[in-house]
Amino acid sequence: MTLPTEMTVVEISEPGGPEVLRHARRPLPVPAPGQVLIRIAYAGVNRPDVAQRAGVYPPPPGASDLPGLEASGHIAALGEGVTGWTIGEAVTALLPGGGYAEYAVTDARHVLPVPEGMSLRDAAGLCETLFTVWSNVFQRGALQPGETFLVHGGTSGIGTTAIQLAHAKGARVIATAGSAAKCQACLDLGADLAINYRETDFVAAVQAEGGADVILDMVGGAYLPRNIQALKEDGRLVEIAFLEGTHGELDILSVMLKRLTVTGSTLRRQSHDSKARIAASLRAEVWPMIAKGGFAPQIDSEFALADAVEAHRLMEASTHIGKIILKVA
């Protein structure tokens, strides 16, 4: 395969609103030992992209400064020592950054085959949410069949993924969302109960169901004490974002009396080895579930790479249900 020397990208010109995203030309990245080069077909748009663009979520050392943490496409080149992949193979991948481009490099262990029968468009929306949900809900939060699971933001990319996986794993699923239409979407995906948080106190509603064993929270801030109240004994609260701030009041006595676990994580800054272990677990546990129809990514909107500004505006408006995708090639 003959590769170009340059590629089209969307870069962040300076911290700010969606309008700071701009097109540019950059040299093609070269895969280092253990990496692969992917010719990108589609890239997922995620909240961390918006946070990076705003200047509050810088990329880790050594990562591309371009936004974009997941993509689908075809293997274009192999770094030294890479085995198990062939040039031209269709893949979906977790990226350290760089997805808003025609080509990107990533650790070969963070690459997964496109599930049989799935389009590259749908596959672009798999990795960031699946890596996040699987590692936080099922590994860190240890959700078990028969337990009650509460996810906030049920119609986000994370939320739609969490609902489906928890339902498929035999948990009772409760989701919060901000409208009747979004609540219905949660129910359609497998939630047993959907709570319109604008009209109903989710704490009272969850307590009426006996409380939650595991809560996946992306809100932070004032939700911290409310989540503590909604947990049952031996419950686990997993924090993965903080849309309403990084500080909240914690009643330590409640944590002690109910023997609660409060934990959290970010994905991007985890080690390559850690993310490789998550990828291996997904391939063993979730890829067969996808093959059996137990999970499918929910795509809300598709934009051309040239329209990344509009994709970010939609993400910030929070009117979408599921994933927002950029078509690159």
Q: Which residues neighbour 235 within 8 Å (Cβ) at sequence distance 6 or greater?
A: 211, 212, 213, 214, 215, 258, 260, 261
Predicted confidence at residue 37, as pLDDT, reads 98
The predicted-structure confidence for 105-148, as pLDDT tens digits, reads as follows: 999 999 999 999 999 999 999 999 999 999 999 999 999 999 99
Instruction: Please say whether the beta carbons of 36 and 77 come within 8 A.
Output: yes
Predicted confidence at residue 254, as pLDDT, reads 96
- C-alpha 37/C-alpha 39 separation (Å) is 7
User: Which of 241, 216, 270, 322 is CA-nearest to residue 51?
Assistant: 241
Residues of the chain with pLDDT under 70: none
Instruction: Please say whether the beta carbons of 71 and 104 come within 8 A.
Output: yes
* Residue 133 burial (CB count, 10 A): 28
The DSSP output letter for 110 is G
Beta strands in 178-304 (DSSP E): 193-196, 212-217, 231-239, 261-264, 299-304
The DSSP output letter for 278 is H
Instruction: Please say whether the beta carbons of 55 and 65 come within 8 A.
Output: no
Predicted confidence at residue 302, as pLDDT, reads 98
One-letter amino acid of 263: T
- C-alpha 314/C-alpha 69 separation (Å) is 18
pLDDT above 90 coverage of the chain, percent: 98
Predicted confidence at residue 141, as pLDDT, reads 98
The predicted-structure confidence for 185-233, as pLDDT tens digits, reads as follows: 999 999 999 999 999 999 999 999 999 999 999 999 999 999 999 999 9
Which CATH number applies to 6-126+268-327: 3.40.50.410, 3.55.40.20, 3.90.180.10, 3.40.30.10? 3.90.180.10
For the chain, give every domain's residue range.
6-126+268-327, 130-264
- C-alpha 181/C-alpha 91 separation (Å) is 33
What pTM does this model have?
Answer: 0.95
**Class of CATH domain 130-264:** alpha beta
- C-alpha 56/C-alpha 41 separation (Å) is 28
Distance between first and last Cα of the chain: 17
Instruction: Please say whether the beta carbons of 167 and 190 come within 8 A.
Output: yes
β-pairing, 172-177 vs 193-196, is parallel
